[in-house]
Amino acid sequence: MSGAFTGKLAVVTGGASGIGAACVLQLRDQGASVFIGDVQAEPDTPEYLDVTNRDSVDAFFSALDRAPDVLITCAGGASRSPALDVDEAAMETTLSLNFGGFWRCAQEASRRAVAENKPLAIVHVGSSLHRGPAPDLSHFAAAKAASMTMVRCLAQELAAHDIRVNAVVPGPVETPATKSLWDASPDIREALDRATPLGRIGQPDDVVPAILFLASPEAAWSTGTVLTIDGGMDVAS
């Protein structure tokens, strides 16, 4: 298979489901060798990755035969809770997954790329909620905001090593994470469709091209960039 990623080694965290799984399919289609890192894999297999655990992140990247050329960080999510009910445990878990998970994987992949003196393209999948407000998801929004700041910090500090760090910020996308909620409350889904200037919520394949662009050699002069892909929700009146 030939394509923009022929001969490239790509890692997709959270690649077993949703947006990450759609990235995996497209990357393979465009010639990449793709390693999925996900908690849905069997423990004790090379594909098992818990991004909230430093030892797991270390073991996952150590099992690769070389530093990846591309890292896409999709692992994320949160349970819903009104701001007044978010407790210490929920806040810690959410930060460790959505901010810490990105930071640990970006750091480990970058350390290996620097040691091997090879370029690396990192694309983090954030969320349009990072700007707030985010009813019942304040903990998640704040964690995603921290990850956006880390994207910009790493982009600046790692550019000298030819490591690019960019982000894609999706609006609401239909994935296993959201579908069950929307299936249970069709009125929420309809309200989101109506609130989106382009008339509908997104599908994973609406977001993947932006992620792959930032991961590809075509984005060789882009770092610290945040691409919002949200059907126009950010400019809704």
Ligand X SMILES: NC(=O)c1ccc[n+]([C@@H]2O[C@H](COP(=O)([O-])OP(=O)(O)OC[C@H]3O[C@@H](n4cnc5c(N)ncnc54)[C@H](O)[C@@H]3O)[C@@H](O)[C@H]2O)c1
List residues binding ligand X (CB under 6 A).
13-14, 16-20, 38-40, 49-52, 74-77, 97, 125, 127, 170, 172-173, 175-178
Task: Give me the least distance between CB of 207 and ligand X, in Å please.
Answer: 8
Shortest distance in whole angstroms from residue 18 CB to ligand X = 2
| Cα 97 versus chain centre, distance | 11
Between 136 and 161, name the residue whose CB sits nearer to ligand X: 136
- Pick the closer one to ligand X by CB: 141 or 158: 141
Residue 124 C-alpha from the chain's centroid: 4
* Least distance (Å) between residue 236 CB and ligand X: 16
**Residue 87 three-state SS:** coil
Q: Kind of pairing, strands 163-170 and 9-13? A: unpaired
Measuring CA to CA, how many Å separate 178 from each of 140, 171, 185?
14, 12, 11
Q: Collect all residues with Cβ–Cβ distance below 8 Å to 184 and sequence separation of at least 6.
A: none
What is residue 153's three-state secondary structure?
A: helix
Say if residues 123 and 211 touch (Cβ distance below 8 Å). yes
For the CB of residue 199, give the shortest distance to ligand X in the complex, in Å. 16
Q: For ligand X, give the closer residue by CB, 161 or 182.
A: 182
Q: Which of 230, 229, 208, 225 is nearest to 4 (CA)?
A: 208
Determine the distance from the C-alpha atom of residue 209 to the mean position of all C-alpha atoms in its chain, rounded to a whole number: 13
Nearer to ligand X by Cβ, of 113 and 169: the residue is: 169
**C-beta of 6: minimal distance to ligand X in Å?**
26
> 228 near 169, Cβ under 8 Å?
yes
Q: How far is the CB of 133 from ligand X (least distance, A)?
A: 15
Nearer residue to ligand X within complex by CB, 24 or 219:
24
Nearer to ligand X, 19 or 86 (CB): 19
Distance of alpha carbon 194 from alpha carbon 190, whole angstroms:
6
